[in-house]
Structure 1
Amino acid sequence: MGWKDNECTSWGDVDDQKTEVHDDRETGGSNHYKPCSSPENDNLPECAFPGDNAVNTDGNGAERSHKAKSCEVDEEEGHLVYHSGLVMKERYEVVLTLGAGAFGKVVECIDREKNEHVAVKIVRNIECFREVAKSEIAVLEEINSLDDDNRFACVRMLNWFEHEGHICIVFELLGLSTFEFLRQNEFLPFSVEQIRHMAFQIFRAVSFLHRNQLTHTDLKPENILFVCSDYDLEYNSDMRCEAKKLRSLDVKVVDFGTATFDHQHHESLVSTRHYRAPEVILDLGWNQSCDVWSLGCVLMEFYLGRTLFATHNSVEHLAMMEKVLGPIPPHLLKQTRKQHYIHNERLNWDEQSSSNDYINKHCQPLKQCMWRRNEDERQLFDLLGCMLEYDVCRRITLEEALWHPFFSPIRTQQKLRS
């Protein structure tokens, strides 16, 4: 993919590449693995995961992405050279390539021992990537141990091994990422009911992580995968077009390469750009609440069908936040170490600039984003307002969010079933 070997602080998506994807919608979209440079020196390497570019089943309404046609190989920069039919560890037979990223490749394999299809992440044989892989394995082993009956929607690691110097992590095979499904579905938004069903699972999973002193740090639609992304084609009366309707809305959270325990060192810069919390941008330090902000951005993307904060620049990002959410509290601006972002105790932003014109065109106050303004939408936007709170002391926790009235229909259903 052309990444320098020292760009290995994580394998989350490169900052800002998604801006390009959404901007290119009308011309057919762009490859969402394509890196996009940022003027800020805070790029994070890009990511791929089981299912990001391939559906795990065939049948009516299911399809394989063009990414999965063959096992493309790359001998450069520590990638494993492999081919369809290669058997690793005398057990895992390579079928096809699911995706690729800075960290290496993800392939679909047949587990000959269990006669089932799995996804194997093959990490580049470069020390910094090996270290991140070891960290992810430790987190996944902890998750497996704490959730041995698989109650929470976190991807299951099935095994790991080394092959010719490459760490290989075996996962259950999942479907498309929520972002890839949106892309293939012409960025038609999810319905409020669909968002409710997915959000409840995601919140439970990440709340489980938080209860066990773990922060994901890179929550985004690319890292939320459908368990199965089979679909039917139906006419969408709102958009007046034929659209894909998923048969199941079950999802799982993936990619724990940058997950951080409370007791571990906290890197100053975390999260992919568009989902990065204000306290991270302002270098105020962060905790588990940065995941809550990221999920607020994710739900808005599900609702709008586009990225909420589509930007390449930190100050512009903060200016977008102010357009959507109102002014950043002065006490946070006073505390920031990024004093060049501030002028006269306000955000250092030129409202006469062409960038400001872009913001005015693409951003509007949060409540004005509602389509129908019915009770379900009012509850969703009330919850989003609690999640997209600048001050971490006032931001809702996911444990609290699960008891928000927006999720009352799901809790009622659970009571009836029990």
Structure 2
Amino acid sequence: MMGPKYEYRMDMRQQQKERRGIGRMEEEFGGVGMGIIGGCSGGCSGGGNGGMEIEDRLKKEAANTGFEYHVKENKRKRTTEADESSGTGNDKQRREMQEQEQREVYNNENPTKRLTMGLVRMYQQVNEQFSYRQEMRPRRALTKPSDGVQNDGYDNEDSDYILYVDDIIGEKYRILESLGSGTFGQVVKCEDLDTGDMYAVKVVKNEKAYYLQSMVEVQVLNMLNNEYDCFDQHHFLVMREHFMFRNHLCIVSELMSINLYELTKQNNYRGLSTNLIRVFTRQILDGLCVLKQAKIIHADLKPENILLRHLQLPSVKIIDFGSACFEDKTKYSYIQSRFYRAPEVLLEMEYGAAIDMWSLGCIVAELFLGLPLLPGTSEYDQIRRITMFFGVPSTSVLALSRKATVYYKRISFDSWRLKTPFEYSASNLNPNPNPNPNPNPNPSLNPNLNLDPSFSFSSSSTTTTNTTNTTNTNTTNNTTNNTTNNTSSLVGTDHFAFSNLPDLILNHPFKDSLLPHELEIESRSRLVLLDFLTRLLQLDPSKRMDPFEAISHPFITNYYPHSTDTPTQFSIPNSNSNSNSNTTISNPSSILSISSDGKSDLSFITQ
């Protein structure tokens, strides 16, 4: 037997169905909303016979559902008078009629909406003397901590400007909500009070270093928007203006949608299709080609800095040039987010625009896998993961590094291996090691990885090299315990079942819904993707593809020409070591063309 709650839900569902039907009828006949008592909003009363037919139909539906239907006779009368009237003298009357109709529509709104979003209007309808002022509403802080301790109380202890909802910055930008915060400051969604348009406003910290670096971002965006991308075609964020407000630099830019990290998150970290990845990567490369021409290094490419324009379209833009620099002014050594940091930056080598290509390779791999390819928990762990997937850098590369001996141990003239976590910890985290010998260090450094002091990656062999006898740093039992504790925080968990790129890409699970011919196409597409990633993720930056080479790669063009001049195969270096074994793609000209339309892949966002 149905209880009262169940019957109430059925009534509400019936009301919702009626609202939808009434809405469709309003569109069809152009009628004006009428009321159904009992909370059912909507209704129609059009002019002429069409309106009468709808009214009769509504009366019947109301009788069937147990609702009472009331026709407002004065409304039909006013509508008829308005249709017959003419001249400018009736404009005021028409406006009054429209206002009256709006009030009646409001009276028929869903009660829940009326008591929340329309609470103030409801009070004003009940009592015309009710007065409400926005400035009397309690201020809601968007900044944490929100205690003003600097800059005459406007800034918190972190030099962030304390932002409140509905506050006005820059004379005309009303703060609506927070969009995020970072090293340089905060980003909020604002309304332009002059036009009603929405913008994103970055409020930079009140510190000289952040101000100077953010002015570089302003300079870069000005250059890109006004010189290299005047028509907004190359996928860069468009800056509207910048100004100073209470000692804070504010940068106003167009409002974007979610970023690529949020996209993969909404897809339950399952990764995206190769079609959609191709669409995104082509657009990013288009922007990187322009940066290459302008001799600009972004220096912080990551999924969070690639934003969708709209949820309905697979169109992206590159944002956040707060870490950008010009190729002839690379004075900072600590740049890029760790997961996407290039080897030359980790090893403190000279760097250039190639670091953005490494970051792009990491981004593309993450979009495919659904998880970061190299999620290092420390700089050592980042080097360890890079070495695990791509081997030890060549001797010629390490010779240019100021930190080669920090992470690697030389075992011969042209051969290096990665230091064990114990060796790295002992030599870098323990400033005063005790020289007393202890030939038996704790072999259980990390239960997740089962690493011990004999663990290593060698630049001359794929086999494990025993280093117990070659370890020069020995400690006492007490120091050993401390060092072992340090190593537990150095190395993170490996989430992938494979430790080389070919196996990881080619064995990634396929969608269950793929048909046999689609499975064949996807398999071939993955081989091309693997070659694309391998050419981006080269340890030697001089061997890495630049944006112009990458945008011409078969994975991006999705076409491999049939020609006698085209090689019948191309090889993918084995990324697990420096061995000579290769993974080969035979007959690449047989790779089928796949549509680059990625709209359907975005359908899950709006579900």
TM-score normalised according to structure 2 size? 0.51
Q: What is the correspondence of 1:4-403 to structure 2 with a 5 Å cutoff?
A: 71-73=141-143, 74=146, 75=148, 76=156, 77-145=158-226, 146-229=228-311, 247-338=312-403, 339-343=405-409, 344=411, 345-350=415-420, 353-354=445-446, 356-357=449-450, 362=496, 363-370=498-505, 371=508, 374-403=523-552
Would you say the 8 A contact 2:141–2:162 is kept in 1?
Answer: no
Q: Distance in 1 between matches of 2:220 and 2:396?
A: 35
Q: Deviation of residue 410 (structure 1)?
A: 8.5
Q: Distance in 1 between matches of 2:495 and 2:211?
A: 43
Q: Deviation of residue 356 (structure 1)?
A: 4.7
Paired amino acid for 1:341: Y
Q: Distance in 1 between matches of 2:349 and 2:185?
A: 33
Would you say the 8 A contact 1:315–1:348 is kept in 2?
Answer: no
Please give the secondary structure, in 2, of the residue aligned with 1:84. coil
Q: Distance in 1 between matches of 2:493 and 2:170?
A: 52
Please give the secondary structure, in 1, of the residue aligned with 2:211. helix
The equivalent of 1:407 in structure 2 is: 556
Q: Distance in 1 between matches of 2:334 and 2:262?
A: 26
Distance of aligned partners of 1:82 and 1:337 in 2 relative to their CA distance in 1, 3 Å threshold: closer
Q: Distance in 2 between matches of 1:270 and 1:227?
A: 27
Q: Deviations over 1:161-190 (max 9, x none)?
A: 111111110010001111122223321211
Q: Distance in 2 between matches of 1:360 and 1:94?
A: 42
Q: Distance in 1 between matches of 2:534 and 2:305?
A: 23
Q: Distance in 2 between matches of 1:361 and 1:158?
A: 42
Q: Deviations over 1:253-284 (max 9, x none)?
A: 11001111122243122211111111111112
> Larger C-alpha radius of gyration, 1 or 2?
2
In structure 1, list runs of 5 or more residues that go unmatched. Answer: 1-69, 230-246
Q: Distance in 2 between matches of 1:103 and 1:350?
A: 35
Distance of aligned partners of 1:192 and 1:312 in 2 relative to their CA distance in 1, 3 Å threshold: same
Q: Deviation of residue 306 (structure 1)?
A: 0.6
Q: Deviation of residue 81 (structure 1)?
A: 2.7
Q: Distance in 1 between matches of 2:239 and 2:559?
A: 28
Would you say the 8 A contact 2:269–2:371 is kept in 1?
Answer: yes
Q: Distance in 2 between matches of 1:200 and 1:322?
A: 28
Please give the secondary structure, in 2, of the residue aligned with 1:249. strand
Would you say the 8 A contact 2:260–2:307 is kept in 1?
Answer: yes
Please give the secondary structure, in 1, of the residue aligned with 2:314. coil
Paired amino acid for 1:401: A
Would you say the 8 A contact 2:216–2:325 is kept in 1?
Answer: no
Please give the secondary structure, in 2, of the residue aligned with 1:151. coil
Q: Deviation of residue 71 (structure 1)?
A: 4.8
Deviates more, 1:186-195 or 1:84-93: 84-93
Paired amino acid for 2:547: L
Q: Deviation of residue 223 (structure 1)?
A: 0.6
Query: Alpha carbon RMSD of aligned pairs, Å?
Result: 2.3
Distance of aligned partners of 1:92 and 1:317 in 2 relative to their CA distance in 1, 3 Å threshold: same
Name the structure with the higher helix share. 2
Please give the secondary structure, in 2, of the residue aligned with 1:129. helix
Q: Distance in 2 between matches of 1:186 and 1:316?
A: 26
Distance of aligned partners of 1:216 and 1:143 in 2 relative to their CA distance in 1, 3 Å threshold: same
Would you say the 8 A contact 2:292–2:353 is kept in 1?
Answer: yes
Paired amino acid for 1:139: V
Would you say the 8 A contact 2:165–2:175 is kept in 1?
Answer: yes
Q: Deviation of residue 149 (structure 1)?
A: 0.7
Paired amino acid for 1:340: V
Q: Distance in 1 between matches of 2:243 and 2:381?
A: 44
Q: Deviations over 1:273-313 (max 9, x none)?
A: 11111111111211100100010001111111111111122
Would you say the 8 A contact 1:275–1:297 is kept in 2?
Answer: yes
Q: Deviation of residue 139 (structure 1)?
A: 0.9
Distance of aligned partners of 1:317 and 1:101 in 2 relative to their CA distance in 1, 3 Å threshold: closer
TM-score normalised according to structure 1 size? 0.73
Q: Distance in 2 between matches of 1:307 and 1:117?
A: 32
Would you say the 8 A contact 1:320–1:359 is kept in 2?
Answer: no
Instruction: Tell me which of the two structures has the higher relative contact order, counting C-alpha pairs closer than 8 angstroms and 6 or more residues apart.
Output: 1
Q: Deviations over 1:209-228 (max 9, x none)?
A: 11110010110011111112
In structure 2, list runs of 5 or more residues that go unmatched. Answer: 1-139, 149-155, 422-442, 451-491, 511-521, 561-592, 597-607
Please give the secondary structure, in 2, of the residue aligned with 1:375. helix
Q: Deviation of residue 195 (structure 1)?
A: 0.3
Q: Deviation of residue 361 (structure 1)?
A: 5.7
Would you say the 8 A contact 1:161–1:169 is kept in 2?
Answer: yes
Q: Deviations over 1:135-173 (max 9, x none)?
A: 111111111112111111011111111111111100100
Q: Distance in 2 between matches of 1:323 and 1:124?
A: 39
Q: Deviations over 1:68-108 (max 9, x none)?
A: xx652333132223322222232211111111223222111
Please give the secondary structure, in 2, of the residue aligned with 1:96. strand
Q: Deviations over 1:216-256 (max 9, x none)?
A: 01100111111123xxxxxxxxxxxxxxxxx3211111100
Give the aligned length. 328
Paired amino acid for 1:273: R
Paired amino acid for 1:379: V
Distance of aligned partners of 1:100 and 1:314 in 2 relative to their CA distance in 1, 3 Å threshold: closer
Paired amino acid for 2:386: M
Taking every aligned residue pair, what percent have the same amino acid on both sides? Answer: 27
Deviates more, 1:202-211 or 1:372-381: 372-381
Paired amino acid for 2:503: Q
